[in-house]
Amino acid sequence: MESIEDYILRITKLANRNAKLNNQLHGLVNRYELIQRQNDKYLNLISEFSNDEVEEGPRVPTKRRITRFKMVSVLYATIRGFRKLSQRADDAQELIDQLDELYIAFDRIGRKYGVLKVKTIGDAFLYAGGISSVNRTNPIDVVRAALEMKEVVAQLHTKHNKEHFWQISIGVHTGPVIGEPTGKKSAPFSLSGESVNIASRLGRACEPDSISISVMTYELVKEFFSLEGIGFMPVKYKGLIEMYKVTGILPNLTIDSSNQVPNRAFNTKYSLIQFMDIQEELLDILEQKLAENLYYHNVKHTIDVVTEVELIGWSEGLSEEQILLLKLAALFHDSGHTIDYKTHEERGAEIAFDILTNYGYPSEQIETVCRLIRSTKFPPEPQDILEQVICDSDLDYLGRSDFIPVSNNLYQELKERDMIGSIDDWNRRQLDFINTHQYYTETARNLREVNKQSQIERLEGLIRRR
């Protein structure tokens, strides 16, 4: 039986070995990132020159901007049926017309989901999500496009009362790609890289009227679609990668038994992922356009309120959709400071309306977000639980340990706009406000009320000392 000393020694050796492996891993990751940066540099240098010569003239360098996309979902599809076409001389033209009908439908579906057409080669075609608009939702968009393409092929035969002649096989893989502009409107990018090769292999190996996705795409869409493991596919330098078959949207996320039409819960889960893209876009705007002397109403405050509405919202038992609307309202609630200080709530609601409309949000959700933004106008008078959550989150600093420095930042901000007098005046105003202020949600009262009382004592002490 192992003694305690031996056991401790063995654990110590394992811990040391683990630390050594972690250091090695860290070194490899740093080396990989260095190689990636060098590779990008060389690609950009190469792209600056073209070997094409102008007729009867000197060689002129032509810039071709090569772009490395970090996360793109590539859809490779093959139309099956061409080999049987020679046996159908009587209705071959009709079948070709059906094929043209399919291609038109595929392009329409691509536009619907923001999936860019890249290439068509005979019976195969390539689409990619995350190119025309860089986003985190492109794996979901591409799988939905694939399902709709498959459905269009199935409906084609019902429409023409024909046997199942044309069939489609679709492969989808998500990963980095290299894109080079082509100058063509119909297919503006030429894509290359391992991700394109994996998607094409999945598409060619896929059974007729099926959709196969790689394990990389699976991890990004598994909360939305019904998926079945179908085995492994060998990939050069990667070994075996798992493959999954897409059978439809998850039953609890669809409006009927067809498992094809998403319901409100699907759209909410999708929007929670899309929120990260909206947040990234808006924070960039705030960093560029907010005045430098906004010491309180800055990007940090916005992030604090977004975090707090989620914390309070979940604690109050709100739904996923309500949390989403609160996070959106928190994100935009001070964006109006990029336009006007005194009417920033109204201006923020206008900015939210424009951006959320561009992202395709339903009008009822946009109206709720705008209402929540307006509810943060001082003094707060929340009318429902959502307004209570965002108002409590907006004034969360009243019960935080960093109240005094945050309060001083707000004072400095107001002072530079001639909206407040001396620091004594400010402390008295803060004291009067805190004495009358109340947190509306039980969560905020439990988290902040005790600290808020201590702030009153601290302010009273500051006033007495002056």
Summarize pLDDT for 343-352 with one digit per residue, the tens: 999 999 999 9
Q: Which pTM does this prediction carry?
A: 0.80
What is the 8-class DSSP label of residue 262? Answer: B
Backbone angles phi, psi at 333, to 5 degrees: -65, -25
Residue pair 115/253 in contact by the 8 Å Cβ criterion: no
Q: Which tokens belong to 410?
A: 């707000």
Write down the architecture of domain 267-465 according to CATH. Answer: Orthogonal Bundle (1.10)
User: What stretch of H or E contains 377?
Assistant: none
pLDDT, residue 56, reads: 42
Residue type, 342: K
Q: What is the DSSP string of 85-122?
A: HTT-TTTHHHHHHHHHHHHHHHHHHHHHTTEEEEEEET
pLDDT, residue 47, reads: 46
- Class for domain 67-262, per CATH? alpha beta
Give how far Cα 420 sits from Cα of 402, 410, 416, 430, Å.
21, 10, 9, 12
pLDDT, residue 62, reads: 44
* Low-confidence residues in the chain, pLDDT < 50: 7, 29, 32, 46-62
Number of H helices, E strands in the chain: 15, 8
pLDDT, residue 1, reads: 53
pLDDT, residue 188, reads: 79
Residue pair 313/326 in contact by the 8 Å Cβ criterion: yes
Q: Where are the domains of the chain?
A: 1-64, 67-262, 267-465
How far is residue 208's CA from residue 167's CA, in Å, rounded to a whole number? 6
On the 0-12 / 13-18 / 19+ scale of CB atoms within 10 A, 131 is buried
Cis peptide before 379 (omega within 30 of 0): yes
Name residues whose C-beta falls within 8 Å of residue 332's C-beta, 6 or more positions apart in sequence. 282, 348, 349, 351, 352, 355, 369, 373
